[in-house]
């Protein structure tokens, strides 16, 4: 595993002024994947954008962990439906021409 692509949980919590328990709760419900490398908890850099959204939901809108889970599951379903709709439109264009 390339540690250069991971950010320590402690660094994230310090930078965003959040509790470590917040990230662990997100990990417990499957929204964030925390990796333990040499006894240090890390998050992959690709998850930072999603974590920022979750922090904004939690702090700015007072959404609890369960609410964040619901929001992200709905957003994932919406993305899947948009992808499916785009594929259906492409197939429809074939028959229209």
- pLDDT per residue over 70-90, tens digit each? 999 999 999 999 999 999 999
Q: According to the model, what pLDDT value does residue 13 have?
A: 96
Per-residue pLDDT reduced to its tens digit, 14-68: 999 999 999 999 999 999 999 999 999 999 999 999 999 999 999 999 999 999 9
Q: According to the model, what pLDDT value does residue 16 have?
A: 96
The reported pTM is 0.83
Neighbours of 58 (CB within 10 A): 18
**CATH assignment of 3-96?**
1.10.1660.10
Q: According to the model, what pLDDT value does residue 1 have?
A: 65
Q: Which residues lie closer than 8 Å to 13 by C-beta, 6 or more apart?
A: 19, 20, 22, 23
Q: Domain extents for the chain? A: 3-96
**On the CB side of 6, how many CA atoms lie within 13 Å of its CA?**
17
Q: According to the model, what pLDDT value does residue 96 have?
A: 84
């Amino acid at each position: 595993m390339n540690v250069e692509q991971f950010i320590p949980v402690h660094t994230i919590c310090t930078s965003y002024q959040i509790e470590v328990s917040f990230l662990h709760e997100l990990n417990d419900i499957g929204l964030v994947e925390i990796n333990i490398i040499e006894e240090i908890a890390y998050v992959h850099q690709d998850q930072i954008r999603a974590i920022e959204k979750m922090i904004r939901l939690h702090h700015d809108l007072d959404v609890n962990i369960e609410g964040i889970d619901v929001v992200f599951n709905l957003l994932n379903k919406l993305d899947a439906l948009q992808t499916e709709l785009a594929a259906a439109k492409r197939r429809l264009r074939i028959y229209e021409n």
